[in-house]
Amino acid sequence: MNFVQTAFPVAAQTIAVHSTAATAVAKPMNFIQAVILGVVQALTEYLPVSSSAHIRIIGDLMLGSDPGAAFTAIIQIGTELAVILYFRHDIARILSHWFTCLFGKNGSDWHHRMGADDRDALLGWYIIIGTIPIVVAGVLFKHVIETTLRNLWITVTVLLVFGILLWIADARSRQVKSIEDMNAKEALLFGIGQMLALIPGVSRSGGTITFGRVMGYKREDAVRVSFLMAIPAVIGAGLFEAIDAVKNYKTDVMFPGWGATIAATIVCFFLGYIVIIGFLKFVSTYSYRAFAIYRIALAIIVALLLISGVLPAVSVAAAA
């Protein structure tokens, strides 16, 4: 059995017999498939191309279903730990200033406790403000997000639409603002962009970056806001889902075992760290046009796979 047959048995069988993936029976992933999904997660988590869409698409091609809640939640922690490591100095500075102001060491009045004269303390508050929309929407629309919005036709649509929006916003917007210029209103707008990423295909970084470019933020600063604002939302949601998923992993037919899951998480961490470095260097020189073109091309490819029956619009697991 060759590598393709080992990693993508569902897709190979589907194409061979011209049947739809909806008729395939989901099976637990093997070690190679788990590592491949770890690579996919690491390569796409930080880029404005939607990691959730890629995991959904690759998962269906390899497994005939979503990779499973336990596995997905755990490997996402690997990518976010890479973000924390890279931005550790920024995070430590923001937290220390935020707590210093909150406990009144710079002044006991409300004005100083909210960090009025301390940009790092204010940035801490702005990250909190930007996190609120995704938390509220995630709680209120949890069922819809996990079911209806995972239809691949919706993913295709938002991949295309937000690819075009990113292209236009990046091409037409000025680069005049830095992360130090952020105010509460703009933090909320960044948060709304992040909130839209609850729809697979929008992309957490893509949503915040697009909103940031519309507001005139420099490309690299828009990325930094995206990374910092994602930390509490993703780590919080990831740990919550992971704890719940770990308790019930024995009932998750897709779970590949702890060895494969830990290996995929390690891949996410190390490869993700490299991707962060490369992405920040890329956007300091080039535009987001390449990512917009990629999104549009991916939307077209996935639409063709849906039309041909290679991919089901709704995964086997979701339909069950």
37 inside domain? yes
- Rounded average pLDDT per 10-residue block, the chain, 320 residues: 53 44 58 94 93 88 79 86 94 94 81 82 94 92 85 95 96 93 96 93 93 96 93 82 74 80 94 95 92 96 94 67
CB 59 within 8 A of CB 10: no
Identify the pLDDT of residue 71: 82
Identify the pLDDT of residue 1: 54
Identify the pLDDT of residue 17: 41
Identify the pLDDT of residue 238: 76
Give dist(CA 309, CA 298) in Å, integer: 16
Count the domains in the chain: 1
57 inside domain? yes
Identify the pLDDT of residue 147: 82
The tokens describing 266, both together, are: 């390690």
1 inside domain? no
Token pair 């008729």 is found at: 23
123 inside domain? yes
Range(s) of the domain holding residue 36 = 6-319
Sign of the CA dihedral running 63, 265, 233, 139: positive
Identify the pLDDT of residue 16: 44
DSSP state of 26: P
The tokens describing 252, both together, are: 């998750």
112 inside domain? yes
Q: Which amino acid is at 250?
A: K
- Helix 69-86 and helix 258-283, axial crossing angle in degrees, nearest 10: 40
Contacts of 214 (CB under 8 A, 6+ apart): 169, 173
